[in-house]
């Protein structure tokens, strides 16, 4: 059995990690930590798991967590993971970090968007955990920077097309929409039910920190700098993320070419599902799962390719993909522990 | 492997049966039927299960379904199951019916509430599938009448107290609240999103057909006729049911006595969870599960016992309990295939 | 023109007062206060009113608010109003307080439920602002304690029946349900969208502070002590409150008697609407209004009277009734400024 | 008093017209029609308006409606208004049609998108009722084709910029999102609460019939053909519409130029509000109103202008704008009857 620990287990992504790791057939969840709830039983914070998770939340301690676990998931705010990572890796533990701290390979890029990096030397060895794109690198990695939810939803449909040179790199827009759980569990006016209900709005328009993350990956895959316009919106629902991506063809393009490109790229990858023509993806179809459903329309009249992807922001957009990456890192089938049958509602 | 079939697989309870049976380790789902969608792939109707369920919906045919399955779940409208049941049982197949057709042992009671019964002779052998209360009868049954969602939520907390004679049989009220999926999948103005959203209301006040079902069981357990006041309400949410039950003590009562009674009754039954004092049950905690969470307050000042139970109306209130009953009927552990770790959201 | 001020204008009830007073034809809104947002434009806090409300929020100051206004609405947390009330009244201003501070006529009752009272001498002159019940007292009052939302919804249907002696005073239960705006605007985990959505639960079971408020009024009208069982629940919606009240007849009772009693009591009172038989009240029908819709079923089989009332917790349950009381205090028609046509959605 | 009638009063737009006309100080609502509910009281269909609207729904009859009203609002399905319009106009009545039948000036364009036009001769005299853009034409019109909800939200922010030549006509995308009431009141699986809740998805991707409507107006204002990419999405909420529009500058552009252009165009028009920088529009701020809130960000890095507009799809997107047009047609202030103070929630 793989011994696993979750640092930051009482945020929504952390709780989802606890759920998935508890049900994972090859894992024993040995330690969970929380600053705010240390000393309390996990199931008092999340009563849904009463009777199933009997762990008590602890303070995060390098020695103890490394003694307890073979792999550590850090679902902590930015800045904390880069402080604990060196100790964890030094002791030969694997680390999947769900913050932004290890999503970039160059400190300069990270620091332009976030803050000074405390462990820049680790960035060279960290692997970007977009499972379907970097499977082999992830399989060999000790440190994985798990992608942001928005980048996951935008990159999965875009990367294959960019690798194949099918889209114009100068005219890409992603209009993305997220459920409220993406904003985290800390109370604020922005997540107050009454402010969210019957509300739909954009936020951080063209200044969201996930845009540089997307651009870094797109530029790498394109072999030259790519900039995109990215506008996130908040949807009055709990879980789910939909990105509608607008691109122009780089040359002659047909719907069949797009279909072929995406189908080929995701062949053998069970967590990406192509939607049939005329049936756009829907966040309800992927709720609670690790799936990414992709659909598209090529509007020949306007020469515009419209890609749509739906994920669960806590699933494929966070905890699900983190587990998928763990599976890859330990040589397990990537679906292990993630393949519950989705429900209709 | 147990071969199972679902008749009426495209309602919400039917789809939940398909989900649970597909993931059940001891079951092979061999046939699913639907009048409305016969001939279509199931995953075109429910795209969430694309890649996981590849069955095509068929017309219901006695011969074919009995040839295909050892156990048949009927998630059909009232009236249809009682017509197909004789054939199914004659051929030695087991049947769990999710309609009201086999919830009563006397045709007269059924007919007073519903319509003339086509197979009254079967009522004597049918067993009421309230899993925690009638486990041994269910284990021996060939025909199970799966309880209604409201009766499940009301009877689980009440039956132990009534068996122990702790509550006054003449003064019981259940104020129950259900999510919208309980109204079924057929479109109507009553389930139009705009009519449900920001709406809360009672319906079928004191005339809902689940009241006689509750009273039948309560009377049986009390050994004398019991009448209750039952008022259902519609909550603007998809899944979940909460019953708040008001009762008077039959004699001297303390909170400890209530706690002891319920704890003893449900000892060893993993799907009933007692909530700690001061932490009432919440439908969010049981969403997507087969749990029934029970809490209570004994208001000594008013000599009123307030019981609260939360279930998922499609889980313990329908498909989950149906699978639990199948497990009992086939001698499996009752949790088999039903014991996914619940999520926090 | 009546000059009005709102102290505590940035809570949800305060903002609703600002909306209603701005649109009131006989009122000029001259001052609004907020501790948290003092110095900011109101429409930066509530952009819905941009272009319509151009006031800047100020700190609360006795001298200045009394100079600015003939009537002051205090939508402040409990404890603050009783401190500012003496100054306001001394200077001859009228006061409608939306907290609990002036809802009781005896300091002892208040103190048993809340805290020591700073202005007990004022309790004798304060009037409980249940508009349809205490109209003449309100018309003569300088100080009105505006009722709680739950008490408003429970008392309106119950008081007429109790005055007429139709219900048994020893067996009253109110199962009440409120939208989330009733919990106020301060962020907390309890109002986090993700914790509310798909959640339904009871809270403060039989210990909510609105129960003593109800019992005080019921006892006064009954002429002897009345105790009720009161259980509030939280509904995943923004605005609206429904109370389902269970009572027993005191003697022979018929539906017609109930209908006659309620119809007679509310004759000429436009804000109480009786629902037709078989059509229970719905919070959606009163959203954004000052209406209280009442329906009932008399279940003769069980000798149980089921009363249902729907209000908007911010309307008739708070700001709407406060304006109605102001109208009564100033000799205006009680509908002035409150009689917008309700919308269907 | 202007005598007004509503044909098709029991859809959501029709009911909103009834609400607004009932409260309009210069209007007497004299007749309302409905095929489905003819003979019933309006307030049995929409109990929110009980006590305020006492009309009975009638069958639509040319003679009778023209005898009863000076202006007729047709909130009927496409195809019906073009059949009754000639009679209405012949008798000298004014007509505001909320369907698509009179939104185009050329039958060919209409017929390419919808069906053969029964009254093509009227298209030359019909005026497109985008109030802020075509005020003078509307003031002189007898027949107004009220704009679609999506076109209203897209055209208001775009038209001023196109008139001033600030945006590239070859690269415009509108990613629009609508609440569920935009889908109408007829029950269907698409508006079933359980299918909408926790769901977010695009529909009619690049094939929605509102795109040609937008293109017709944009082309007229630009003086040359304009094509746009338009993708509508469904939001799990009742009322509200947000369009996020992506455009490229035609030449050198600054945020100040955009601000100046929009501010100048909408000067003196109270129903369009410019949001302050950094505070994008939110559907919650315009719920139940006739406002259109506009915000924008000019992303100089990518040379992309991002315009955002929020309306209530039933307000400015349908019934509100129809009333505004009536006000213009009768020489009233355009805010008459539409200027209720918006609520915070």
Residue B100: strand, helix, or coil: coil
The reply to whether residue D194 touches residue B192, judged by beta carbons under 8 angstroms, is no
Of B203, B229, B282, the CB nearest to C299: B229
Render pLDDT for A207-260 as a digit per residue (tens, 0 to 9).
Answer: 999 999 999 999 999 999 999 999 999 999 999 999 999 999 999 999 999 999
Cβ of A49 and B16 within 8 Å? Answer: no
Residue C89 has what pLDDT?
Answer: 98
- Residue B157 makes CB contacts below 8 A (sequence gap 6+) with B243, B245, B262, B294, B296, B307, B308, B309
Beta bridge partners of C213: none
Contact C153, C241 (CB under 8 A): yes
Q: Is B47 exposed, middle or buried (0-12, 13-18, 19+ CB in 10 A)?
A: buried
Nearest CA to CA, how far is C197 from chain A (Å)?
A: 7
Q: For strand C71-74 and strand C2-7, is the pairing parallel, antiparallel, or unpaired? A: parallel
Cα torsion at B313, B318, B321, B327 (round to 10°)?
-150
- Residue A316: per-residue pLDDT: 98
Average of pLDDT values for C169-190?
Answer: 97
State how far the Cα of D78 lies from the Cα of D85, in Å rounded to an integer: 12
Instruction: Determine the residue of chain A that is closest to B281 in CA distance.
Output: A47
Query: Are B327 and B129 in contact, with CB atoms under 8 Å apart?
Result: no
Interface of A with B (CB under 8 A): 12, 15-16, 19-20, 22-23, 44, 46-53, 181, 198, 238-239, 270, 273, 275-276, 279, 282, 284-289, 293, 314, 340-345
- Convert the pLDDT of each residue in C238-296 to its tens digit: 999 999 999 999 999 999 999 999 999 999 999 999 999 999 999 999 999 999 999 99
Partners of residue D199 in chain A, C-beta under 8 Å:
237, 240, 282-284
Do the Cβ atoms of A54 and A44 come closer than 8 Å?
Answer: no
Close Cβ partners of C94 (under 8 Å, ≥ 6 residues apart): C70, C71, C72, C141, C142, C143, C144, C326, C329
Q: Dig out the tokens for C228 from the structure.
A: 């009720």
Q: How confident is the model at residue A25 (pLDDT cuts 50, 70, 90)?
A: very high
Q: Which residue of A has its CA nearest to B240?
A: A345
* pLDDT reported for residue A229: 98
Residue of B133, B153, B184 whose CA lies nearest to B311: B153
CA proximity to A39, closest of A60, A24, A64: A60
CA distances from C113 to B253, C110, C152, C209, D40 (A): 26, 5, 18, 6, 50
Taking the model in full, what pTM does it have? 0.98
Of B149, B194, B261, B292, the active-site residue reads B149
Residues of C in contact with B206 (CB under 8 A): 297, 299, 301-302, 304, 306
Q: Show Cβ contacts of residue B203 under 8 Å, excluding neighbours closer than 6 positions.
A: B232, B233, B234, C280
* Confidence band, pLDDT 50/70/90 cuts, at residue A342: very high
Q: Rounded CA gap, D327 and D27, in Å?
A: 10
Contact list, C342 vs chain D (CB under 8 Å):
19, 48-49, 52
The residue ranges of DSSP E strands in B171-222, in sequence order, are 173-178, 201-202
Cα D62 to chain centroid distance, Å, stands at 25
C-alpha dihedral (C104, C108, C110, C115), degrees to nearest 10 = 150
pLDDT digits (tens, 9 = 90+) for D239-257: 999 999 999 999 999 999 9
User: Mean pLDDT throughout A150-168?
Assistant: 98
Kindly report the number of other CB atoms within 10 A of residue B116's CB atom.
10
Residue of A nearest to C12 (CA): A194
- Cβ atoms A151, A210 nearer than 8 A: yes
Give the number of B-D residue pairs with CB atoms closer than 8 Å: 51
**Chain A residues with beta carbon closer than 8 angstroms to that of D177:** 177, 200, 233
Quote the pLDDT of residue A149: 98
- Residue D227 makes CB contacts below 8 A (sequence gap 6+) with A301, A302, D170, D215
pLDDT at position B113 is 94
From CA C34, how far away is CA C205, in angstroms rounded? 32
CB-side neighbour CA atoms (13 Å) of D191:
22
Give A-chain residues touching D307 at CB under 8 angstroms: none
Sheet containing strand D272-274, edge to edge, reads D201-202, D229-234, D173-178, D241-247, D304-311, D292-299, D272-274
Confirm if B10 and B43 have CB atoms less than 8 A apart. Answer: no
Is B340–A342 a contact, with Cβ atoms under 8 angstroms apart?
A: no
One CATH from 2.30.30.240, 3.90.79.10, 3.30.360.10, 3.40.47.10 for C150-313: 3.30.360.10
> End-to-end CA distance of chain D, in Å?
33
Instruction: Report the C-alpha dihedral over residues A19, A22, A24, A25, rounded to 10 degrees.
Output: -160
Q: Which of A149, A194, A261, A292 is catalytic?
A: A149
Apex A180 CA angle, A179 and A182, nearest 5: 85
Looking at chain D, the whole-number percentage of residues with pLDDT higher than 90 is 100
Domain boundaries, chain A: 2-125, 150-313
Give the burial class of C209: count Cβ atoms within 10 A of its Cβ; 0-12 exposed, 13-18 middle, 19 or more buried: middle
Written out in words, the top-level CATH class of the domain with range A2-125 is alpha beta
Beta bridge partners of B170: none
Residues in chain B with pLDDT values less than 50: none
Look at residue B64 in the predicted model and tell me its pLDDT. Answer: 98
Best residue of B200, B243, B275, B276 to probe chain C, by most C CBs closer than 10 Å: B200
pLDDT at D247: 98
B211, containing H or E segment: helix B210-222
- C169-179: average pLDDT: 98
Instruction: Tell me how far the alpha carbon of residue A72 is from its chain's centroid.
Output: 16
Closest chain B residue to the Cα of A16, Cα to Cα: B343
What 3-state DSSP class applies to C28?
strand
- Half-sphere exposure (Cβ direction) of B328: Cα atoms closer than 13 Å: 28
Mind giving me the DSSP string for D66-80? HHH-SEEEE---TTS
* Tokens 């313990």 found at: B316
Phi and psi torsions of C329, nearest 5° = -65, -30
Of A181, A185, A197, the CB nearest to C238: A197
Of C203, C237, C242, Cβ closest to residue B280: C203
Strand-pairing partners, residue B144, are: B96, B127
Q: Do C344 and D16 touch (CB under 8 A)?
A: yes
Are D311 and D319 in contact by the 8 Å Cβ rule? The answer is: no
Looking at residue A200, its pLDDT comes to 98
Cα of C164 to nearest chain A Cα, Å: 40
> How far apart, in Å, do the first and last CA atoms of chain C sit?
33
Whole-number Å distance between alpha carbons of A308 and A174: 9
With beta carbons under 8 A apart, name residues in chain C contacting A14. Answer: none
Q: Are C85 and C60 in contact (CB under 8 A)?
A: no
Helices and strands, number each (H, E), in chain A: 12, 13
Q: Do B197 and D238 touch (CB under 8 A)?
A: yes
Half-sphere exposure of D133 (CA within 13 A, CB side): 24
Give the residue on D whose Cα is nearest the Cα of A293.
Answer: D201
Measure the CA–CA gap between C133 and C117, rounded to whole angstroms. Answer: 26
Position D5 scores a pLDDT of 98
Is D149 marked active-site? yes
How close C313 gets to chain A, by Cα (Å)? 13
CA–CA gap between residue C226 and residue C161 (Å, rounded) = 14
Say how many C-beta atoms besides its own lie within 10 A of residue A185's C-beta: 20
Is ipTM beyond 0.85? yes
Which chain C residue shows the shortest CA-CA distance from A192?
A: C192
**pLDDT single digits (tens) C189-243:** 999 999 999 999 999 999 999 999 999 999 999 999 999 999 999 999 999 999 9
| Contact (Cβ atoms closer than 8 angstroms) between residue C217 and residue C130 | yes
> Most A CBs within 10 Å: which of B29, B32, B276, B342, as the mutation test of the A interface?
B342
Question: Phi and psi of B335, rounded to 5°?
Answer: -90, -5
For chain D, give the mean pLDDT. 98
Nearest residue of D to residue A170, measured between CA atoms: D302
Numbered residues of chain C with Cβ closer than 8 Å to any chain A Cβ: 12, 180-181, 185, 187-189, 191-194, 196-198, 236-238
Using a CB-CB cut-off of 8 Å, the residues of chain B touching C310 are 200-201
Strands, DSSP E only, in chain A?
A: 2-7, 27-33, 71-74, 94-97, 127-128, 143-145, 173-178, 201-202, 229-234, 241-247, 272-274, 292-299, 304-311
Contact B270, A51 (CB under 8 A): yes
CA distances from residue B273 to A47, B131, B217, B290, B322 in whole angstroms, order as listed: 10, 14, 22, 11, 19
Residue found by looking up tokens 């209301």 in the block: B201
Among A185, A193, A237, the residue with its CB nearest the CB of C191 is A193
pLDDT digits (tens, 9 = 90+) for A64-74: 999 999 999 99
D121-129 contacts at long range (C-beta below 8 A, 24 or more positions apart): D122/D82, D122/D85, D122/D86, D122/D89, D126/D102, D128/D103, D128/D217, D129/D96, D129/D321, D129/D322, D129/D325
DSSP-derived pairing of the beta strands C241-247 and C304-311: antiparallel
* D contacts of C284 (beta carbons < 8 Å): 48
- pLDDT at residue B180, as a whole number: 98
Can you give the pLDDT at residue A10?
98
Q: What is the DSSP string of B151-169?
A: HHHHHHHHHHHHHTT-B-T
**How far A132 CA lies from chain C's nearest CA (Å)?**
29
């Amino acid at each position: 059995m793989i011994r696993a620990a979750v640092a930051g287990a009482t945020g929504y992504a952390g709780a989802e990690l606890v759920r998935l790791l508890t049900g994972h057939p090859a894992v024993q969840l040995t330690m969970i930590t929380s600053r705010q709830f240390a000393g309390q039983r996990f199931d008092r914070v999340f009563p849904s798991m009463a009777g199933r998770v009997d762990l008590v939340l602890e303070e995060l301690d390098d020695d103890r967590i490394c003694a307890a676990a073979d792999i550590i998931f850090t679902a902590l705010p930015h800045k904390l993971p880069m402080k604990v990572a060196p100790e964890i890796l030094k002791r030969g533990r694997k680390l999947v970090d769900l913050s932004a701290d290890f999503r970039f390979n160059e400190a300069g890029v990270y620091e332009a968007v976030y803050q000074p990096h405390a462990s820049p030397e680790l960035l060279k060895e960290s692997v970007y955990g977009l499972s379907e794109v970097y499977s082999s690198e992830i399989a060999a990695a000790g440190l994985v920077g798990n992608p942001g939810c928005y980048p996951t939803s935008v990159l999965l449909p875009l990367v294959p097309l960019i690798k194949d040179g099918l889209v114009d790199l100068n005219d890409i827009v992603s209009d993305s929409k997220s459920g409220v759980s993406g904003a985290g569990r800390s109370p604020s006016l922005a997540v107050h039910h009454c402010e969210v209900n019957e509300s739909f709005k954009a936020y951080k328009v063209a200044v969201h920190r996930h845009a540089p993350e997307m651009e870094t990956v797109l530029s790498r895959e394109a072999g030259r700098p790519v900039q995109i316009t990215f506008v996130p919106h908040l949807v009055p629902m709990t879980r789910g993320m939909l990105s509608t991506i607008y691109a122009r063809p780089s040359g002659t393009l047909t719907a069949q070419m797009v279909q072929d490109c995406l189908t080929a790229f995701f062949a053998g990858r069970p967590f990406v599902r192509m939607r049939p023509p005329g049936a756009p993806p829907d966040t309800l179809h992927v709720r609670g799962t690790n799936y990414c459903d992709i659909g598209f329309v090529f509007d020949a009249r306007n020469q515009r390719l419209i890609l749509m992807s739906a994920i669960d922001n806590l699933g494929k957009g966070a905890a699900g993909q983190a587990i998928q990456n763990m599976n890859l890192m330990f040589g397990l089938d990537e679906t292990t522990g993630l393949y519950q049958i989705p429900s209709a509602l």
